[in-house]
Amino acid sequence: MKKTRLKKLGHLYATDEMLCMAEQDIPENKKIGWQRVEPVFQREVYLQSKICDGILVVAIYLTRDLRLGSKKPLYEIFIDKSKREYLTWDTVKGKWRTACVEALEFPHYYSYSCAYLTPEDKIRLTEYLGVTQEGMEGICQYQQSILEERLENRYKKETSLWEAAMKLVPNVPKDWLRWVNRHGLKENFIFYDYSKNVKEGFCTWCEKTVPVKKARHNTYGTCTCCGHRIQYKAKGKAGRLCTKKEQVYLPQKYGDGLIIRQFTAQRFYQKGEYETPEIMCNETGRVIYDKDLMGTQYYYGKYKQRGYRWIKGYPNYSFFYGYYDYKLNHAGAVYRRTVPALSRHILNRTGLPQLISIGYKISPNDYLSDLAEAPYLERFIKAGLKHLTLDALKGRIEVSESHSLAKSLGIDGNRLGRLRNNDGGELFLIWMRYEKKKRKNIVDSVICYFEEQNIRPENIKFIQDRMSELRICNYLKRQYALTNRPPLELLSTWQDYLNMSKRLKRDITLEIFYKPKNLVESHDEVLQLCEDKNITLQAVDIAKVYPDVDAICESIKEKYEYRDQKYVLLIPNRIEDIIQEGRALRHCIRFSDDYYERIQRRESYIAFLRKADQPEKSFYTLEFEPDGTVRQKRTSGDRQNVDFNQAVSFIKKWQKAIQPRLTEEDYRLAKVSASLRVEEFKELRKKNAKVWHGHLAGMPLADVLEADLMEVSLCMEDAGVTEADGQNGELVAA
């Protein structure tokens, strides 16, 4: 609408009838919002309208202004029905406004239904605007419909291209759901009628009754007909159940390119209907590739709060909207029957068809994405290096540029053949490189065993000067048969045994000592001997290597010791106290030199947490940094029990209380200590170091240490510790 034309339409001034009605409208004090009280009229606004040159003009007056004798409207709204446009003239500010009525400023909130207009104006508004509501509500309804149209047109510019792309997507194959049920969903069951001597049950993979032996509810077994792993389910106990959600992929031809469709599949069983499950298979993602294999990602989600549709890009859901349930490009089974046709054209030079033919769970989209940066993936899979390809997809393989595949892997042609014949992965390749570097040959069966047990060359370095890889392999097999402990754990036990034997002055170059008949028994025997050794002599040995430990412990006692009514935190006087504490609680501090090394360089210190009424009895041992950050807290057997939770508030109070006593040097040391700790965690994760003993055996060591951490700032903030809390105890002198 042209503004100059609108100005020529003339103004609408209030009628005498409006002035009279406003004069008789006595305001009443009413509560506005939560607390504010303001005078409110029975009718807050008045409306008047006219139609000029096909344009509807609506004037809005405030009762407050009319009572003062003003006939001038607050706003004049111009609406052109033919062009679906509206514009508002603000008489107070003297400018044009594009806002709708709902966004205009009024003195305070009022109900649109309280607006006054004559019956003629009501009819004029509803007929011109074509709305169902009257007055201000009708104007709002009309303006909202225009805004909705504008928004829809704006979104269509974006979504029309998506819709055009989606129209070219072919239908799923006729056998798609059956394939998903049999090959995409890996969980299968045998349902049986519970009885003492059950002999048959229904296999969900075979889809028929099969013989069973020793069936027990929820135990796992193998179907005697199809050979698949199954879980036994007694029909009377199973109830309703479902399989876990799994990802499946459908590659199809798409014009000159390719589309890879991702589905989330799940199988549901209703009670008593176990032979006819419901298959849920929802499509969640699509990646469309052009002839150059440049992919465009789409996902199925809610678009601009306007309904569900295919959206270009990646989902950006928060945790509460099920981010972890929306798995784009996770590994899953891939439908193979469409692959041969694709392998002759667009996938001919990718290696993806060969990878799919193996039958492993993969993400074809991740493979094609990685292929652009790592073209050697095609060489790997086409050379028959299946296991190595899968490890390379996880970013584990270092490859150099070379026309020769063997040279790019850092090995020779003979070792490449062995790698292929044994379907070796990353670890097998590491052993091949180790072979070449050391100029030796290791039997393939030995390397296969090491790969199976996740044993690397550095894991056996401590014994390689006395035993060959073959002898080490055979020895580990015998010890596993004796103890049933994992070989990697046995290596750690073996190394501990040799270190302790060395402390006992044994000649560990003799086979009788470095290769005991029963490793675990010999380890325990040496452990007992170490415990029986005179504490003073052991302390002397430690002091020779770490001469400053005693002096450091003595110097920090006044700074860090603390007590309250329940607990007391003590600093050891000398090395003997630390050894005695380790023996009393039977944890690793009694033999590990790492703690003394950290004290020597002032990276961390040792403290004893005791109960106030039993200060002589060992309770917990703490390792803490110079600023009070607690790294570890352990009681008997390297454990942290539930009873420590009661002492957490004491630790936080102690951390607060010692802060005034710390010097700039302490904070400098704490900063260095924190940096070293972070680097240590990174190194432990890089080496995949695990806990080998105790109740935490098998867990990543870095995760255990990180979970133990009680940082000063975080603990204060967490607990809301105040200055008074820190003073509700006393710092005790040595």
Which helix (H) or strand (E) is 718 found in, with range?
helix 712-719
- Domain C-terminal end among 501, 532, 563: 532
Token pair in block for residue 428 = 């097998």
| Helix, strand, coil tally for the chain in percent (to 5) | 45, 20, 35
**Residue for token digits 């349902």?**
191
CA angle, corner 150, sides to 149 and 151, nearest 5?
A: 90
Task: Label residue 325 by pLDDT band (50, 70, 90).
Answer: very low
The stretch 268-292 carries a mean pLDDT of: 94
User: Is residue 366 domain-resident?
Assistant: no
Residue 219 CB burial class (10 angstroms; 0-12, 13-18, ≥19)? exposed
Q: What are the start-end ranges of the H helices in 453-548?
A: 469-483, 487-503, 511-514, 519-532, 535-545
Distance CA 165, CA 159 (A): 10
- Domain C-terminal end among 148, 167, 200: 148
Return the pLDDT at 530.
Answer: 66
Q: How far is CA 100 from CA 78, 107, 145, 473, in A?
A: 11, 17, 11, 81
Statement to judge: residues 502 and 583 lie in one domain: no
Residues sharing a CB contact under 8 Å with residue 316, sequence separation 6 or more, in sequence order: none
Return the pLDDT at 716.
Answer: 46
The stretch 475-486 carries a mean pLDDT of: 94
Residues sharing a CB contact under 8 Å with residue 680, sequence separation 6 or more, in sequence order: none
pLDDT tens per residue across span 620-650: 999 999 999 999 898 887 788 888 899 999 9
Statement to judge: residues 72 and 203 lie in one domain: no
Return the pLDDT at 727.
Answer: 47
Residue 192 CB burial class (10 angstroms; 0-12, 13-18, ≥19)? buried
The stretch 387-397 carries a mean pLDDT of: 86
The stretch 94-110 carries a mean pLDDT of: 85
Statement to judge: residues 628 and 714 lie in one domain: yes
**DSSP assignment letter at 8:** T
Statement to judge: residues 714 and 601 lie in one domain: yes
Q: Is the per-residue pLDDT at 718 higher than 60?
A: no
The stretch 46-55 carries a mean pLDDT of: 94
Q: 244, 187 in Cβ contact below 8 A?
A: yes
What's the residue count for the chain? 734
Cα atoms found within 13 Å of the Cα of residue 646, Cβ hemisphere only: 11
Name which residue leads in pLDDT, 178 or 701.
178
DSSP per-residue string spanning 290-356: -TT--EEEEEEEE-TTS-EEEEES-----GGGTGGG--TT--EEE--TTHHHHHTTTTTTTSHHHHH
Residues sharing a CB contact under 8 Å with residue 511, sequence separation 6 or more, in sequence order: 466
Distance CA 577, CA 539 (A): 9
Token pair in block for residue 272 = 């008593």
Task: Label residue 317 by pLDDT band (50, 70, 90).
Answer: low
Distance CA 620, CA 570 (A): 11
Tally the domains of the chain. 4
Statement to judge: residues 512 and 597 lie in one domain: no
Which has the minimum average pLDDT: 32-36, 101-105, 224-228?
A: 32-36
For the sheet with 45-52, list strands across it: 45-52, 55-62, 75-80, 85-90, 95-97
Q: 420, 384 in Cβ contact below 8 A?
A: yes
Q: Quick one: angle between helices 413-421 and 426-438, nearest 10?
A: 150
- Domain C-terminal end among 301, 334, 367: 334
Which has the minimum average pLDDT: 475-479, 572-576, 714-718?
A: 714-718
Statement to judge: residues 36 and 101 lie in one domain: yes
User: Is residue 347 domain-resident?
Assistant: no
pTM: 0.65
Amino acid at 689: A
Statement to judge: residues 481 and 581 lie in one domain: no
Q: Is the per-residue pLDDT at 89 higher than 90?
A: yes
Return the pLDDT at 113.
Answer: 63
Which helix (H) or strand (E) is 656 found in, with range?
helix 648-658
Strands 562-563 and 332-334: unpaired
Average pLDDT, the chain: 88
Statement to judge: residues 502 and 596 lie in one domain: no
Residue 591 CB burial class (10 angstroms; 0-12, 13-18, ≥19)? middle
The stretch 106-113 carries a mean pLDDT of: 66
Q: Is the per-residue pLDDT at 720 higher than 60?
A: no
The stretch 277-285 carries a mean pLDDT of: 94
User: Is residue 159 domain-resident?
Assistant: no
Which helix (H) or strand (E) is 554 found in, with range?
helix 549-560
User: Is residue 307 domain-resident?
Assistant: yes
Statement to judge: residues 113 and 222 lie in one domain: no
Neighbours of 526 (CB within 10 A): 22
Distance CA 540, CA 579 (A): 11
Name which residue leads in pLDDT, 530 or 407.
407
Q: Is the per-residue pLDDT at 704 higher than 60?
A: yes
Nearest residue to 594 (alpha-carbon basis) of 554, 560, 545, 551: 545
Distance CA 534, CA 231 (A): 56
Cα–chain center distance at 232: 32
Distance CA 607, CA 362 (A): 50
Task: Label residue 194 by pLDDT band (50, 70, 90).
Answer: confident
Name which residue leads in pLDDT, 576 or 349.
349
**Residue for token digits 């001597």?**
197
Return the pLDDT at 414.
Answer: 94
Statement to judge: residues 653 and 586 lie in one domain: yes
Statement to judge: residues 694 and 659 lie in one domain: yes
Report helix, strand or coil for 717.
Answer: helix
Task: Select the highest-mean-pLDDT range: 29-43, 285-299, 303-317.
Answer: 285-299
User: Is residue 130 domain-resident?
Assistant: yes
Burial 687-717 (b: 16+ CB within 10 A, else e): eebbbbeeebeeebbbebbeeebbbbeebbe
Residues sharing a CB contact under 8 Å with residue 196, sequence separation 6 or more, in sequence order: none
Q: Is the per-residue pLDDT at 108 higher than 70?
A: no
The stretch 644-661 carries a mean pLDDT of: 93
User: Is residue 629 domain-resident?
Assistant: yes
Residues sharing a CB contact under 8 Å with residue 220, sequence separation 6 or more, in sequence order: 229, 230, 231, 232
pLDDT tens per residue across span 516-551: 999 999 988 887 776 556 676 677 678 889 999 999
User: Is residue 630 domain-resident?
Assistant: yes
Name which residue leads in pLDDT, 431 or 215.
431
Q: Is the per-residue pLDDT at 59 higher than 80?
A: yes
Q: Is the per-residue pLDDT at 227 higher than 60?
A: yes
The stretch 126-142 carries a mean pLDDT of: 92
**Residue for token digits 């509560």?**
31
Neighbours of 544 (CB within 10 A): 8
Neighbours of 1 (CB within 10 A): 14
Task: Label residue 734 by pLDDT band (50, 70, 90).
Answer: very low
Which has the minimum average pLDDT: 220-224, 536-540, 587-591?
A: 536-540
Q: What percent of the chain has pLDDT over 70?
A: 91
Task: Label residue 320 by pLDDT band (50, 70, 90).
Answer: very low
Residue 312's domain spans which residues? 176-334
Strands 257-269 and 241-242: antiparallel
326 — alpha (psi -120 to 50), left (phi > 0) or beta?
beta
Ramachandran angles phi, psi of 533, nearest 5°: -70, 145
Distance CA 317, CA 309 (A): 15
Name which residue leads in pLDDT, 38 or 432.
432
pLDDT tens per residue across span 487-524: 999 999 998 888 778 767 789 999 999 999 999 999 88
Return the pLDDT at 489.
Answer: 93
Statement to judge: residues 114 and 195 lie in one domain: no
DSSP per-residue string spanning 464-487: TTTS-HHHHHHHHHHHHHHH---H
User: Is residue 202 domain-resident?
Assistant: yes
The stretch 657-661 carries a mean pLDDT of: 94
Nearest residue to 199 (alpha-carbon basis) of 217, 216, 213, 218: 213
pLDDT tens per residue across span 76-86: 999 999 999 99
DSSP per-residue string spanning 93-127: TTEEE---GGGS--SS---GGG-B--HHHHHHHHH
**DSSP assignment letter at 461:** T
Cα atoms found within 13 Å of the Cα of residue 477, Cβ hemisphere only: 11
Q: Is the per-residue pLDDT at 693 higher than 80?
A: no
